Amino acid sequence: MYSRCISLFAGIAIAATGLATAAHAAPKDKEFFENVSGTWKGPGEIVAGRYKGTKFTCSLTGSSPDGGKAGIKLDGSCRVGVFSQPMSAVISQAGNSYKGKFLDGAKGKGLDVISGAVNGNKVVLGINRSKLNGAMIARLEDENAMKVTISVKVGDKMIPVIGVNLNRDVDDIKVGSIK
């Protein structure tokens, strides 16, 4: 179960950086990804399941993927107490959808992104690992705040299991000098 929690943390990372959409909306998607690129930090909590109540913090940096396609490349980590889990992901446009992986994908210790859509200031991604299916929703509250929820499918219901509140690391924003 611990590896599933780590895999879900990877999902948080990606969602937090804002991902995926259909090809016909690629210019708007690309704009969304550019708006959420940069460094984000913040707390999260597992809200359901065996590890309910576990609190963690994430520090994530998102950038454009290679090839100029809409999507995102992510690096960073999430920390639970003294333990830190590296986070990485690559999500890019594939036809009229998005494909990608968190960590090393579902065949390893991560998750696969199997679908996604951007709608205004919100992104919804379909995620999969073996028999685990779910969704990540990331909502850009303003230019410096994002809320992320990861839910898993149990029967016919989507059950929220992880929530994260991320803030842009404004100390990392480079500005020009004043003369």
pLDDT value, residue 97 = 78
Q: What are phi and psi of 52, to 5 degrees?
A: -50, 135
In tens, the pLDDT along 10-32 reads 445 444 433 333 334 467 888 88
Q: Alpha-carbon distance 168 to 159, whole Å?
A: 27
Mean pLDDT within 89-116: 86
pLDDT value, residue 177 = 53
Mean pLDDT within 142-147: 92
Report the percent of the chain where pLDDT is more than 70: 80
Indicate the average pLDDT of the chain: 81
Q: Alpha-carbon distance 61 to 76, whole Å?
A: 6
Tokens at residue 132, please?
């685990």
Contacts of 61 (CB under 8 A, 6+ apart): 38, 39, 40, 74, 75, 76
pLDDT value, residue 82 = 92
13 or 107: whose pLDDT is higher? Answer: 107
Sign of the C-alpha dihedral, residues 128, 95, 39, 36? negative
One-letter amino acid at 83 equals F
| pLDDT for residue 87 is more than 60 | yes
Quote the distance between the C-alpha of residue 45 and its chain's center: 15
CB-CB contact of 20 with 115 (8 Å): yes
SS3 34: helix
Q: Alpha-carbon distance 167 to 99, whole Å?
A: 26
Return the DSSP state at 137. E
CB-CB contact of 160 with 52 (8 Å): no
Return the DSSP state at 94. E
